[in-house]
Structure 1
Amino acid sequence: MFIHGFLFRWQPGATEEQIARAQREILAFQGVIPGLREVHVGENLADNKGDYTFAGVMIFESKEIYAGYSAHPAHQALLQWLMPLIEPIEFDLEG
């Protein structure tokens, strides 16, 4: 198992609809991206979250499967419109 996690700090001007769209599109990766077992995404509820208000975790079958995730067309389509709106922090670990 390989775990990929992220936190987003939204740029000024990001709308609630854009945030909701990001959540919908990330959740839709499950069943589309091969080897992606689980997706969990939503509001960061941590007390010490700072400006990182959006969080997610993805569980892949293996590190090798995760390696193909970045190039997947669904991920690339999301990044195209999302990257100008966020400052992300990511983490990865093997479970």
Structure 2
Amino acid sequence: MGKYCVGSRVEIVGHEDGFWNSYFAATILRDDCIKFLVRYEKLKDDEGQKLQEEVGLEYIRPYPPKIPYKIQELDDVDAFDGCGWWRGTVIHANE
């Protein structure tokens, strides 16, 4: 049994131009041992339906838990903007 199974909530790293280092929430619909079929929570296809895509394991990470944390300057963070997560570094934190 693998790390992810059908029904798991995960994040998929952006793997097309303009989306590198961003992450998008998705649910695994199918696992055929080589590729996973996922359905994104926010991304839509041309017909306005939730986008589905086959991705390899290298594009999947676990959905993050909710952990209270005080953000500090120079922390590496993922920030939610639009419909995905983007990597960044904190340059100023309110005390």
Question: Shorter-chain TM-score: what band?
Answer: under 0.3
Q: Whose strand fraction is larger, Structure 1's or Structure 2's?
A: 2
Larger radius of gyration: 2
Q: Greater RCO between the two (CA within 8 Å, min separation 6)? A: 1
TM-score relative to the length of structure 2 = 0.25
What is the TM-score when the length of structure 1 is the normalising length? 0.25
Higher-helix-fraction structure: 1
